[in-house]
Chain A
Amino acid sequence: MRGNIFVITSGKGGVGKTTTTANLGVALARLGKQVALVDADIGLRNLDLVLGLEKRIVYDVVDLAEGRCQPRQALIKDKRINGLFLMPAAQTKDKESVSETQMARVAHSLGADFDVVLIDCPAGIEHGFRNAVAGADEAIVVTMPEVSAIRDADRVIGMLGSRRARLVVNRVRPDMVRTGDMLSVDDVAEILGREVLGVVPDDEEIIDTTNRGQPVSLDPSRRLSAMYAIMARRLMGEDIKPLEIDADGLWTKLRRIMVGQR
């Protein structure tokens, strides 16, 4: 096993699995990797929207799992960046229409052809979760510094078995951490007892870029691109620190440097 198949999961919904999958995929492709993104949220697919590829779907992962098409027919190549491919989910099917074995087979066949496979897991811990996890070597658990998200992440980590699980702490608001209204990244890591792969601050840029199907990582000048670039390099085994958003507030610092205010 090459260990290049990652499931991106969270338990709780809306913490940023799909956004993380899309942006981490773009950042990995930017590093020159061949990347396949698999949308495992059958019936509630969204990765295609976030990537802006929804109009190009012909076949989907259920077709592939049931042998109605070849991987290369279902894969959609992102024309904006080299090496990035999407395996879309079916929208009108049930999650129960695919078995864990079938999903694992899909993941492994993509894993043989690509440098990295990222599987976007549905929310919850039902059949769809088990499908998404079945073929993964490792897990990336996305969470937020919020009690309910952490509790769900804890539950999910317990269900990942022996797989290595690393954390992406999403939607951190440094100002709220400073005032004590939000848990810090260190607190989250300590509660969950897992290594932090990346940290992403809360930023309204994400809403806009998601709505327009333009992942923020496509534009290196965007503020959040750097966060995903570091996450990608860490995932590829580079020994660099996850960008720390310290108590002073990264944006406060950056703004001070760029604008010279405060």
Chain B
Amino acid sequence: MSNEVRPQEELIALPAPKTIGDALAAAAAQPPEPVAVAAVEPPPAEPAPKKRVRMPRATEAKGRAIVITSGKGGVGKTTVTANLGAALADAGKRVVVFDADVGLRNLDVVMGLENRVRMHALDVIEERCELDEALVRDRVRRSLLLLPAAQNRDKDEIEPEDMTDLVSELTEQFDFVLIDCPAGIEQGFRNAVVGAQEAIIVTTPEVSAVRDADRVAGLLPNDMPARLIINRLRPALVKKGTMMSVDDVLEVLRLELVGVIPDDREVIVATNRGNPVVDMPGSATGQALRRIAARLLGENVPIPDLTQRKDWFSNVLSKLNFSRADAKG
């Protein structure tokens, strides 16, 4: 873990890194062995310099800041954020996932990084540390970083201007800034949205989630493009007519659909273990998330109709466990 606590030294020792992302790519290319770094250039005798390594400004391609929001809680914002981050990093992009849920942070747990969090976004804003010190690198993906939220603070303690500054600084260093928005539409929501250029609204095919998504869509700035992810779809229930279909949801919300994610109990297991679902081979949920990442990158990946597919597994499951006739005996 010693190599995790010295991002600054790495940055300084590596030959002329242009951005953090470049430095990361370089760090990923060579084995992250602090001893080897030290052998090339012995560390200075005085304590590590506290000055921020200023990144060159305004490369022609600034990163995209996308807020992932929903209104209703528990629809999968954090899981979607973590997994899209992983999938985008796999596509060679430099990604930072930013937990904006001050006081109720969870992105660190979902990514399995909770023990590596040292500083957080509020420390950066209040200048107790540099941005680089607060970023936590993913355990597996070197180009995926987490900016954690403060856990023992209030959402009202951040000003919208601070968020705008912080997000814009992140977009200079990363290709993608994914902002995990808190539930609700209070100050925490407004802070999470203010620095973003695009929004992804996550909903589930349930009336209450759809209603909250509609409310949130109305609260986003008019010029902010918003796209929709429908999460936790159960094709078997849609066919039975007890769950809203994708078309039902779209009829209410009238947003551009960027993906449909089937419900999968594997997600709970993966989340509890801090592993991304996109890493689970054969998981329909993981595949759907990877397709969404591809669409975010501009690839033309069709959205498959999940209800049309003969999903034998859920069929078998519904026959064994959940069919109503069975339950009523």
- Tell me the count of chain A residues lying within 8 A, CB to CB, of chain B: 44
The answer to whether A204 touches B73 (Cβ under 8 A) is no
Report the Cα distance A208→B244, complex, angstroms: 9
Known contacts A13-B184, A49-B207; decide if A43 and B269 are in contact (CB<8 Å): no
B47 at the interface (CB under 8 A from A): no
The answer to whether B206 touches A44 (Cβ under 8 A) is no
Q: How far is the CB of B262 from chain A (nearest CB, A)?
A: 14
B33 at the interface (CB under 8 A from A): no
- Interface members, chain A 228-258 (any B CB < 8 Å): 251, 255, 258
Report which of B73, B269, B321, B329 forms a contact with A123, defined as CB distance below 8 A.
B73
The answer to whether B242 touches A207 (Cβ under 8 A) is yes
The answer to whether B207 touches A14 (Cβ under 8 A) is no
Report the Cα distance A204→B317, complex, angstroms: 12
The answer to whether B72 touches A181 (Cβ under 8 A) is no
The answer to whether A152 touches B106 (Cβ under 8 A) is yes
Q: How far is the CB of B57 from chain A (nearest CB, A)?
A: 35
Nearest A-chain residue to B215, judged by Cβ? A44
The answer to whether B268 touches A128 (Cβ under 8 A) is no
Known contacts A12-B104, A148-B106, A151-B106; decide if A18 and B188 are in contact (CB<8 Å): no
Of the listed residues B188, B207, B265, the one surrounded by the most CB atoms of chain A closer than 10 A to its CB is B207
- Interface members, chain A 178-233 (any B CB < 8 Å): 181-183, 204, 207-208, 210-211, 221, 223
Q: How far is the CB of A179 from chain B (nearest CB, A)?
A: 9
A94 proximity list for chain B (CB < 8 A): 186
Known contacts A125-B104, A255-B326; decide if A43 and B185 are in contact (CB<8 Å): yes
A95 at the interface (CB under 8 A from B): yes
Report the Cα distance A176→B269, complex, angstroms: 9
Nearest A-chain residue to B104, judged by Cβ? A152
A66 at the interface (CB under 8 A from B): no
- Interface members, chain A 131-187 (any B CB < 8 Å): 146-148, 151-152, 155, 173, 176, 181-183
The answer to whether B206 touches A211 (Cβ under 8 A) is yes
Report the Cα distance A100→B251, complex, angstroms: 38
Q: How far is the CB of A5 from chain B (nearest CB, A)?
A: 23
The answer to whether A207 touches B272 (Cβ under 8 A) is no
The answer to whether B72 touches A126 (Cβ under 8 A) is no
The answer to whether A210 touches B206 (Cβ under 8 A) is yes
Interface string of A1-33 (1 = CB under 8 A from B): 000000000011111001000000000000000
A105 at the interface (CB under 8 A from B): no
The answer to whether A122 touches B74 (Cβ under 8 A) is no
B242 proximity list for chain A (CB < 8 A): 204, 207-208, 211
B78 at the interface (CB under 8 A from A): yes
Q: How far is the CB of A21 from chain B (nearest CB, A)?
A: 12
B63 at the interface (CB under 8 A from A): no
B209 proximity list for chain A (CB < 8 A): 14
The answer to whether B237 touches A12 (Cβ under 8 A) is no
A251 proximity list for chain B (CB < 8 A): 321, 327
A119 at the interface (CB under 8 A from B): no
Report the Cα distance A124→B184, complex, angstroms: 7
The answer to whether B326 touches A259 (Cβ under 8 A) is yes
Interface string of B123-159 (1 = CB under 8 A from A): 0000000000000000000000000000100111000
Known contacts A146-B272, A182-B268, A211-B206; decide if A12 and B185 are in contact (CB<8 Å): no
Report which of B72, B234, B322 forms a contact with A13, defined as CB distance below 8 A.
B72
Nearest B-chain residue to A262, judged by Cβ? B320
Interface string of B67-79 (1 = CB under 8 A from A): 0000111110010
Report the Cα distance A130→B69, complex, angstroms: 22
B246 at the interface (CB under 8 A from A): no
Report which of A11, A44, A96, A211 forms a contact with B72, defined as CB distance below 8 A.
A44
The answer to whether B184 touches A210 (Cβ under 8 A) is no
A122 proximity list for chain B (CB < 8 A): 183-184
B110 at the interface (CB under 8 A from A): yes
A183 proximity list for chain B (CB < 8 A): 272
Known contacts A12-B74, A44-B215, A211-B242; decide if A258 and B208 are in contact (CB<8 Å): no
B166 at the interface (CB under 8 A from A): no
B168 at the interface (CB under 8 A from A): no
A127 at the interface (CB under 8 A from B): yes
The answer to whether A126 touches B268 (Cβ under 8 A) is no
Report the Cα distance A182→B266, complex, angstroms: 11
The answer to whether A18 touches B208 (Cβ under 8 A) is yes
Q: How far is the CB of A141 from chain B (nearest CB, A)?
A: 14
Q: Can you list 11 A-B pairs with a CB-CB distance of less than 8 A?
A: A13-B73, A13-B184, A15-B74, A91-B215, A124-B103, A124-B183, A125-B154, A152-B104, A211-B242, A258-B327, A258-B329
Q: Which 9 A-B pairs have the closest CB atoms?
A: A13-B73, A14-B74, A258-B329, A13-B183, A123-B73, A123-B183, A148-B106, A208-B242, A46-B208
